Amino acid sequence: MKRFWLRVLLAIGAVVAVAFIQNTSLLAPASSARPILLAHRGLAQTYPATGVTNTTCTASRINPPEHPYLENTLASMDAAFAAGADIVEFDVHPTTDGHFAVFHDWTLDCRTNGSGVTREKTLAELKALDIGYGYTADGGKTYPFRGKGIGLMPTLDEVLARFPERRFLIHIKSNEAREGEALAERLLRLPASRLERLMAYGGAAPIEALRARIPALLTMSTAAEKRCLLHYLAMGWTGLVPASCERQLLLLPSNYARWLWGWPARFSARMRAAGSEVIVAGALVDGEASSGIDHADQLKALTRPIPDIWTNRIDRIAPLVQAEQR
């Protein structure tokens, strides 16, 4: 009986030793690479995230403006890249006349002087709107961007034409497979060298449709990410990466990411070897949506080496990252 338990203990010890050796950061190769910085919606107006739900009009609760840019515009993307962004994220909706409009909200009532469902409008109708109309930082006493956003809602085609060498993350704002198909039709007209600089995320149905048409495109849906991470938690201790994690975009809350085998250096290296990209965002707290890495204390709290970063304040975070790399 003693020999049996000795063998059990030795087996457990061997498993623990393998897990430690395969995943400890102490043995991970050193890296001096600067983390990739993703600017969420370009350089945008920010707002307190507490209590925000899917129906909250965030334009009606912005912080006092520190810059003149509105999210999802060509100017905001220009400013984000100039500030140090490697990737810019933007949102798309189909129009009734076959275009993709770049705009965040499902409806127009919050940010614009229009009303109704965004995807139920023609491109001309959307182009006529003032997208800065609804922004206020003082409960409606003043509207600092009213009258300044007329005609500034771009199309997907305009973004790709304006920034032919830049990387983008495209957010499909629905869970309809036909939108994944329509986006695939548009993207497949691009040269391969341009297509490889793009990624997409959204609902499971459009992402599955898009991935079926363009298998090499990095994509993410909540369902696909959960599947990958659950499989990885089960087998990642061995150093192996499950097939469900191949060619995936993984957007990870910082307070959950640290529980992944080999986080951050070995995990990120394994996912890169599987053709995937890992980007860390702010903490997910009490079920509320994960924020970006937007403040110096959030950046400081990240486990080193710093992983690639999702931020709403590229103007703040890029200089801090650059200073740390010197």
pLDDT digit string (tens) for 293-319?
Answer: 999 999 999 988 888 999 999 999 999
Total tally of structural domains belonging to the chain: 1
128-142, 157-171, 202-216, 279-293: lowest mean pLDDT where? 279-293
Residue 297 domain-assigned? yes
Find out whether 34 and 321 touch, Cβ atoms under 8 Å. yes
Question: CB–CB of 311/320 below 8 Å?
Answer: no
- Using the CB atoms, write b or e for 101-120: b if 16+ within 10 Å: bbbbbbbbebbbbbeeebbe
The strand pairing partners of 249, in sequence order, are 277
| Radius of gyration of the chain measured on its C-alpha atoms | 22
Average pLDDT over residues 70-76: 98
Domain presence at residue 207: no
Judge whether 179 and 186 are in contact, CB under 8 Å: no
**Residue 256, domain member (yes or no):** yes
Print the domain residue range for 310. Answer: 221-326
**Could you tell me if residue 191 is inside a domain?**
no
- Report the run of H or E that residue 224 belongs to, with start and end: helix 222-235
Q: Is residue 237 part of a domain?
A: yes
Query: What distance in Å separates the CA atoms of residue 256 and residue 281, rounded to the nearest whole number?
Result: 10
**Tokens 């770049």 sit on residue:** 102
Instruction: Tell whether 3 is covered by a domain.
Output: no
| The model's pTM | 0.92
Q: Is the pLDDT of residue 268 over 60?
A: yes
Query: Stretch 124-133: mean pLDDT, rounded?
Result: 98
**In 3-state terms, what secondary structure has residue 62?**
coil
CA distance 283 to 262: 19
Residues whose CB falls within 8 Å of the CB of residue 226, separated by 6 or more in sequence, listed in order? none
